Amino acid sequence: MLPTAVSNDPLAGVAEFRDQFIRAYRFMLHARLLDERLASLYRSGKIFGGVFLGRGQEALSAGLGVCLRQGDVFAPLIRDAAGRLAFGEHMIDSIRTYLGSPLGPMRSRDGNVHRGRPKEGLLPMISHLGAMISVVNGMLMARRMQKRLGTSVGAACLGEGGTSTGAFHEALNQAGVERLPLVMVIANNQYAYSTPTNRQFACDNLVERAAGYGFDGHTVDGTDLGECLETLQKAVDNARSGRGPQMIVAPLLRLCGHGEHDDSSYIDPRLKQSELGRDCLEIAEQRLVAEGWLSGEEIGRSRSELLAAIDETISTVQRESAPNASAESWQALSTVSLRDMSSGTEMA
């Protein structure tokens, strides 16, 4: 389905939409391929700790990413490789963080999905679900106080399981009270680790919670990039133009394990067969081809180019040296004069 009116000229609107769709699709593809490479590195024992994929969620994630701009704030969650790329994260940040390179943004200290560059508006998640949202609020509040909020927005992602946290609630209520340009994107991928939605919440659609927080609510089929773009663009535009916080709930299905250690055998086969279980990447490709926006060949070329770039980046990072514990400062405070040199960590 095409968006109704993106600009005054319907044809310009179509072209704009097509361009956005293609851009988003490339990030989806990039994320999917990167995820797959990380999964194979995991299987060959090259990654310490867990690997978390966004398979099946790329349309929603990339869709959000392309609706954001430089200067916006983005707090991705564990399945947002696509949105991160679309927001401008370099894939080397991801690979370095997974492989623990000291050259990555987390300098071997934190890993996998816990990466970001706060000063560039990309927040590095802590693991505690729901915790990032109020931080986005605070960034928006600060900008407003500094009179430089302008039309910037903050976007935060969460799974449906994360909505059960107190942190989620407090932050949404806060965004409502402060009427912040917060775009809250909830990927309802039907499971929180192994827990199905009927053990997680008792309403039909989490979007029913939007009004109670003073949010506009939107629901979108998370497997359909076109619909994701349309809905997310509307929500982001609403937020930008001062219409207050927005909640988007996207039903879809996690097409992978919770992490790569998990065979996800608990996923209901009926869900896999349902509309929710469609692969958003395939659907996007079908549309690209059907609309004549990209040919199968072009898609194949993109794929090989991206794979080559991914492999090259992985090789680069694998040649980087591992962190050296004795070169570490082992100091958690930034203030040098407050570093406590006799806190029992070492023998006197």
Partner 1 sequence: MSITYLDAIREAQDRALKDDPRVFIYGQDVGAFGGAFKATKNLAAKYPGRVIDAPISEDAMVGAAIGAAIEGMRPIIEMQFADFSTVGFNQMVNHAATLYWRTGVPCPITIRLPSGGTSGGGPFHSQSLETIYAHFPGIVVMTPATVEDAYGMLLSAVAIDDPVIFCEHKYLYYHLKASSLPTESLPIGKARIARQGRDLTVVTYSAMVHECLAAAEVARDEGYEVEIVDLRTIKPLDTDTVVASVARTGRLLCVGEAWPWGGVSAEVIARVTAEAFDLLDAPPQRLNAKDTPVPYHPNLWAAHRPTAQSVAQSMLRLLRL
Ligand X SMILES: Cc1ncc(C[n+]2csc(CCOP(=O)(O)OP(=O)(O)O)c2C)c(N)n1
Distances (CA, A) of 211 to 18, 61, 140, 170: 32, 23, 21, 15
Q: Which of residues 159-198 bind a second copy (CB under 8 A)?
A: 164-170, 173, 176-177, 179, 198
Kindly tell me which residue out of 36, 50, 201, 303 binds a second copy, with binding defined by CB under 8 A: 201
**Is residue 245 at the binding interface for ligand X, with CB under 6 A as the rule?**
no
Instruction: Name the minimum Å distance from CB 324 to partner 1.
Output: 7
Stretch that binds partner 1, among 52-60, 170-178, 288-296, 305-313 (CB under 8 A): 170-178
Is residue 110 a contact point for ligand X (CB under 6 A)? no
- Cβ contact 248:220 at 8 Å: yes
Paired sense of beta strands 246-251 and 195-196, if any: unpaired
Q: How far apart are CA 340 and CA 347, in angstroms?
A: 14
User: Which position among 75, 175, 192, 225 is part of the footprint of Mg ion (CB under 5 A)?
Assistant: 192
Say how far apart CA 67 and CA 86 lie, in whole Å.
9
Q: Which is nearer to ligand X, 75 or 149 (CB)?
A: 75
**Interaction of residue 266 with ligand X, rule CB under 6 A:** no
DSSP string, 245-299: -EEEEEE----S-SSTT---TTS-HHHHHSGGGS-HHHHHHHHHHHHTSS-HHHH
- String of b and e for 109-124 (b: at least 16 CB within 10 Å)? ebbbbebbeeeebbbb
Taking every pair of Cα atoms in the chain, the longest distance, rounded to a whole number of angstroms, is 75
Which residue's entry shows tokens 């609309």? 291
Question: How big is the site for a second copy, counted in residues (CB under 8 A)?
Answer: 25
Name the CA radius of gyration of the chain, rounded.
21
* Span near ligand X by CB under 6 A; candidates 66-74, 127-135, 141-149, 309-317: 127-135
Kindly state whether residue 159 participates in binding Mg ion, applying the rule CB under 5 A: yes
State which of residues 67, 187, 206, 252 lies at the interface with a second copy (CB under 8 A). Answer: 206
Contacts with ligand X by CB under 6 A: the residue count is: 17
| Candidate residues 118, 212, 296, 300; the one interacting with a second copy per rule CB under 8 A | 212
Task: Give the nearest distance from C-beta 220 to a second copy in angstroms.
Answer: 18
| Residue ranges in contact with ligand X by CB under 6 A | 78-79, 127-129, 159-162, 165, 187, 189, 191-193, 254, 258
